[in-house]
Structure 1
Amino acid sequence: MSGALDGILVIALEQAVAAPYCTAELAAAGARVIKIERAEGDFARGYDRAAKGDSSYFVWLNQGKESIALDIKQEGDLALLNRMLDRADVFVQNLAPGAADRAGLSPEALQARNPGLTCVSISGYGSGPGVDGLKAYDLLVQAESGLSAITGGPQEMGRVGVSICDIGAGMTAHAQVLEALIARGRTGKGRTIEVTLFDVAANWMAVPLIHTEYGSGAPTRQGLRHPSIAPYGAYQSSDGALTLISIQNEREWLRLTQEALDLPELASDPRFKGNAARVENRDALEAALSARIGQIKAEELRARLAAASIAYGAVNTPEDVTRHPALRRRDLTTSGGAVVSGPARAVRGVEGTRPGPAPAIDAQGAAIRKEFAA
């Protein structure tokens, strides 16, 4: 199956999550992605063995890529990499800041020989005073960016349960590569792109930061409650299941209290008239709602909410999600040829290509060396 990026050559000096996420999306659109690894391989190969012996991270993010093991400190391997880059459309790397430049792989040097090359650098913080030398794994950036301070319950901060800063950086880089390729169609020139995990997280923290500097302070940690809308949170039914209920306007508030929960006295209570009042009197509100919902089984509660056109969602476990009717799937092939089922790409209506398996270390090394021989 052809893809929108057929004929595009991407060289990826990458490891872990952020850069591989970017290039995985490019590969799914038809680009040829050659992954440069150390002899021991991308360290994400060793994160776990959940995917029938392979790392779940690696299988997810490296479908259809080619692998060659290079030591760019060796003159011959560096020369080979430069020959590959002379013919490439995109170069993505997430080495430590400055490492690519020290190896002679700066955007200026590469684009002097190949003006159409787009060079993408992904790092934790970039470089500069105060951030030089900072390690930048996902959870560290969640903490440094303030994301951890607003995530979790009232008594404890929490980690967002997936590598959200890495994934966000990969998504951002992918979008910028596509912009660069469109621009090159008009100008013939590539772009130099720098994406940092911290910049992405800080951008997503815009509302808490604006509240901190200009409002009454950042939202406090509410667990499964919305800090500025009430009721908007999870409630436990009589069978122990949690259902998240969201009220966005007064029409919904009346339908919730009068139709779904048979609590007309709440609808007329002046403490709960308008969202601002409900937030101010949240403790009393939550006590009343929880007492009523605690008398109803989850199936009946959700049927009542649906009949009243109230937005709700089950608080699912990962096991529950594997059976969710909205979950679309795709097959992922491990480096050993086994097949595991994973979530489909997060886009509908554009199927993309059906790339091959995640590669074994240096699986295409011999062929790539021959193709790009001096």
Structure 2
Amino acid sequence: MGAVPEDRAKTTSTPDGSLRPEVPGASLPLADVTVVTLEQAVAAPLATRHLADLGARVIKIERPDGGDFARHYDRTVHGESSYFVWLNRGKESITLDVKEGTDRVVLNAMIAAADVFVHNLAPGAAQRLGLDAESVRTGHPGLIHCVISGYGSGGPYERKKAYDLLLQCETGLVLTTGSPTEPAKAGLSIADIATGMYAFSGILTALYERRATGEGASLHIAMLDALGEWMSQPAYFAAFTGEQPRRTGARHPSIAPYGPHRAGDGATVFLGIQNEREWSRFCHEVLGRPELATDPRFACNVDRVANVESLTAIIEAAFAGWGVNEVEVRLEAAEIANARLRPPQEIFDHPQVVARHRCRQVHTPGGPAPALLPPVIDPRHESAMGAVPALGEHSAALRAEFAAAQPWAHSASNPLDTNSTPAPPSARTTSDLP
């Protein structure tokens, strides 16, 4: 992995791809938005990190005894977790025991000053702690209250624990992925990512609406709904054909040729044919086998899928005389979509990423690390890309800031007040907190 220049974090890409110095204090779209979040793992932190990238102040509340458990998934980035580094840049970290009187007053004060409150507390925990939307927004109607859960409110699964792999199973994703003989999970936290992105877009929508109405919102995003939406096409296919989608490894189950093919040097190139014009061009200009364009076995996509094993053998026989570089040159010349199989770490040094200056450097407690800029490019400003916080790094400053809390945070009419939460501490469990 190549080094990312330190000064890269202090420059902004212009529309022509050149760099200009970043203007200190330049306004970002959410610069006047404060987010308080009781979060851990992936979905909620992903949503709030995107808010931070857009300039929002994000205050992350963590357990005193170890913090967000995603901090401990691995120790790969200068001793920090790769998950935590990815998901938590630009946030302030404070450790609070939200069931303890003094800490709860601090939490109340922060929520009273917030525009957005996010949590992914265990099912039922928010109500026991008085942090549900009804309780919180009674005294703060302009607040956008966002809940992330596994299965949503109501129904037989409401209190069922939910982790990414388990939602992949429940939505059918695992049965559509893998080899013909063995199903497989997706290689990344796809249920969490889908949920986090819907939470992000929902919060942005609520902020936009609040400008006109002055009213906040009570949002709820369930992992089942988020990944279920992404699984709609396989669901339609199975429901209306009576057949389960075929598991085909890295090949596409219903388009051919579309997937990996070996070159003569043993390397793998991926290619995709999307229509009959491309198929004819591929046969004539790449394979040098024009007769294949009208071969009845491969006359249309349905025929090519039915005879994909024979087709793959023919393609790899042609590729056997070329190394992967020459195969790519031929495919590009014929305007056939293709890609090289790369390991994940190469994304930071990908030639297109480097050419477009899409990588920056962020600070972590253990040292600098590369980070990709968010995908949306706006030439008016660059994303904040703040530091990844150490556990409780901002506790002292935040406690001092909110010590003189607004009267609302202490009043008897405040549903968040420690003295008026619905359930006493003895009725709450340690599993309530993220």
TM-score (norm 2): 0.83
Q: Deviations over 1:161-205 (max 9, x none)?
A: 111111111111000000000100111111111111111111000
Q: Deviations over 1:23-50 (max 9, x none)?
A: 1011111111111111021111111111
List gaps (5 residues or longer) in structure 2: 1-25, 406-434
In the alignment, which residue of structure 2 is the partner of 1:173? 199
In the alignment, which residue of structure 2 is the partner of 1:267? 293
Cα distance change of structure 1 residues 334 and 319 upon mapping to structure 2, 3 Å threshold: closer
Work out whether 1:345 is the aligned partner of 2:374: yes
Cα distance change of structure 1 residues 176 and 352 upon mapping to structure 2, 3 Å threshold: farther
3-state SS of 1:222 partner: coil
In the alignment, which residue of structure 2 is the partner of 1:3? 28
In the alignment, which residue of structure 1 is the partner of 2:187? 161
2:397 to 345, 367, 371: 367
3-state SS of 1:146 partner: coil
Q: Within 5 Å, which residues of 2 pair with 1:80-99? A: 80-99=106-125
| Separation in structure 1 between the aligned mates of residue 317 and residue 159 of structure 2, nearest angstrom | 52
In the alignment, which residue of structure 1 is the partner of 2:144? 118
Work out whether 1:357 is the aligned partner of 2:387: yes
* Cα contact 2:272–2:337 (8 A) shared by 1: yes
3-state SS of 2:351 partner: coil
* Cα contact 1:26–1:174 (8 A) shared by 2: yes
List gaps (5 residues or longer) in structure 1: none
Cα distance change of structure 1 residues 352 and 169 upon mapping to structure 2, 3 Å threshold: farther
Deviation at 1:54, TM superposition (A): 1.2
In the alignment, which residue of structure 1 is the partner of 2:56? 31
Q: Return structure 1 stretches of 4+ with deviation > 4 angstroms.
A: none
State the one-letter code of the partner of 1:32.
Answer: R
TM-score (norm 1): 0.95
| Separation in structure 1 between the aligned mates of residue 284 and residue 75 of structure 2, nearest angstrom | 52
Percent of matched pairs sharing the same residue: 47
Aligned length: 373
* Cα contact 1:59–1:333 (8 A) shared by 2: no
| Separation in structure 2 between the aligned mates of residue 164 and residue 278 of structure 1, nearest angstrom | 30
**Range 48-57 or range 213-222, more displaced:** 213-222
1:15 to 40, 43, 49: 40
Work out whether 1:317 is the aligned partner of 2:343: yes
3-state SS of 2:260 partner: strand
* Cα contact 2:359–2:372 (8 A) shared by 1: yes
| Separation in structure 2 between the aligned mates of residue 110 and residue 133 of structure 1, nearest angstrom | 21
Work out whether 1:79 is the aligned partner of 2:108: no
Q: Within 5 Å, which residues of 2 pair with 1:147-296? A: 147-296=173-322
Deviation at 1:237, TM superposition (A): 0.6
Cα distance change of structure 1 residues 322 and 62 upon mapping to structure 2, 3 Å threshold: closer
Q: Deviations over 1:319-359 (max 9, x none)?
A: 443431122212121124x1111222222235544343211
Deviation at 1:310, TM superposition (A): 0.8
RMSD over aligned CA atoms reads 1.5
| Separation in structure 1 between the aligned mates of residue 348 and residue 62 of structure 2, nearest angstrom | 33
In the alignment, which residue of structure 1 is the partner of 2:15? none
**Range 251-260 or range 325-334, more displaced:** 325-334
| Separation in structure 2 between the aligned mates of residue 352 and residue 10 of structure 1, nearest angstrom | 20
State the one-letter code of the partner of 2:288.
Answer: D
| Separation in structure 1 between the aligned mates of residue 393 and residue 348 of structure 2, nearest angstrom | 32
Q: Within 5 Å, which residues of 2 pair with 1:323-334? A: 323-327=349-353, 328-334=358-364
* Cα contact 1:117–1:191 (8 A) shared by 2: yes
Cα distance change of structure 1 residues 273 and 355 upon mapping to structure 2, 3 Å threshold: closer
* Cα contact 2:348–2:372 (8 A) shared by 1: no
State the one-letter code of the partner of 1:294.
Answer: A
Cα distance change of structure 1 residues 353 and 320 upon mapping to structure 2, 3 Å threshold: closer
3-state SS of 1:253 partner: helix
In the alignment, which residue of structure 1 is the partner of 2:9? none
In the alignment, which residue of structure 1 is the partner of 2:324? 298
| Separation in structure 1 between the aligned mates of residue 331 and residue 101 of structure 2, nearest angstrom | 67
| Separation in structure 1 between the aligned mates of residue 174 and residue 45 of structure 2, nearest angstrom | 24
Cα distance change of structure 1 residues 173 and 316 upon mapping to structure 2, 3 Å threshold: same
Cα distance change of structure 1 residues 319 and 119 upon mapping to structure 2, 3 Å threshold: closer
| Separation in structure 2 between the aligned mates of residue 320 and residue 369 of structure 1, nearest angstrom | 41
